[in-house]
Amino acid sequence: MLRNATTQYPILLVHGLFGFDRIGNVELFHDVKQALRTAGARVFIPQLSATHCNEARGEQLLAQIDRVLEGTGVDQVNLIGHSQGALATRYAAAVEPEIIASVTSVSGPNHGSELADFLRKALTPGRLPEHVASTVATLFANFLSLLSGQPDLPQNAIAALNALTTEGVGAFNDKYPQGLPKTWGGKGREVVNGVRYYSWSGTLQGGLVDQGLDALDPLHGFLQAFSHYFTTEAEQNDGLVGRYSSHLGKVIRSDYPLDHLDSLSQTAGPLRKGIDPIDLYVQHAERLRKAGL
């Protein structure tokens, strides 16, 4: 079936923590980007710091949005942010809503991550474990930036961790509440300051048969292990972000059978209950097109 995702405004796919555009032949959003372009969308991948606070990454995003606007001649863009990328897109829309047509959060920690809370408590501020973890994470982020051709991007692993905790995101939300639900687990306003807000996410579900090839994926195994550190959203998380913590604006669905990385790119998704993670992005682009965006 011929798909039509020819949106009025370009789509920017915004990566989260430890994300990148391209390293060698590896592109983080490769499958998503190709599917969207095949369906007619104009797609760009901004490169943000792999580790930093939400505001710093949001400012980097705004600078790259300006370049997209100048290069394409349009006056707005559609932002789709995965994980911490969702917080950068929210910042951009709150600060300069006139250039943002829509914000879509995909597995975004819009109320913080319980895993980040656990790590923050485990890494006592100012003590050696925090220093070692910060140094290792920052060196890794700098290495990613170098390989991706963006060596000048600043990195700050502890700022990123603090920005993803429940407390850190709570402070962020106090300043930038656009699209947030008024009640836990609810939906937020779909349009704020002319910007449309959407979200979707998944949860870890089922046994080995339901998980398909994901059961053999070591990254999926790590996410399964991480999920045990959740208490408020125990059994209602994707390994890194809780289901209800992800809610923003119009909640398309928050319980797809997808782990945190499945929602970024296609792995074994089609083998589990017929969900194709890549097609979710194409469906959403079609949704944006029908909304005149």
DSSP codes joined into one string, 49-107: -SS--HHHHHHHHHHHHHHHHHHH--S-EEEEEETHHHHHHHHHHHH-GGGEEEEEEES
Q: 205-233 burial by CB neighbour count: b if 16+ within 10 A, else e?
A: beeeeebbebbebeebeebbebbebbeeb
Point out the catalytic residue in the list 260, 262, 263, 284: 260
Point out the catalytic residue in the list 21, 238, 259, 262: 238
| Residue 156: count of CB within 10 angstroms of its CB | 18
Assess whether 260 carries a catalytic annotation: yes
Q: Is the dihedral of CA 134, 135, 140, 142 positive or negative?
A: positive
Assess whether 238 carries a catalytic annotation: yes
Which of 164, 5, 246, 198 lies closest to 93, judged by CA?
198
What are the structure tokens assigned to 278, written together?
């890549």
CA 227 to chain centre: 18
- Distance, in Å, from the CA atom of 278 to the CA atom of 238, rounded to the nearest integer, reads 17
**Residue 80, phi then psi, degrees to nearest 5:** -120, 115
What are the structure tokens assigned to 115, written together?
């895993």
- Distance, in Å, from the CA atom of 224 to the CA atom of 228, rounded to the nearest integer, reads 7
Point out the catalytic residue in the list 49, 52, 82, 83: 83
| Residue 253: count of CB within 10 angstroms of its CB | 12
Active site members: 83, 238, 260
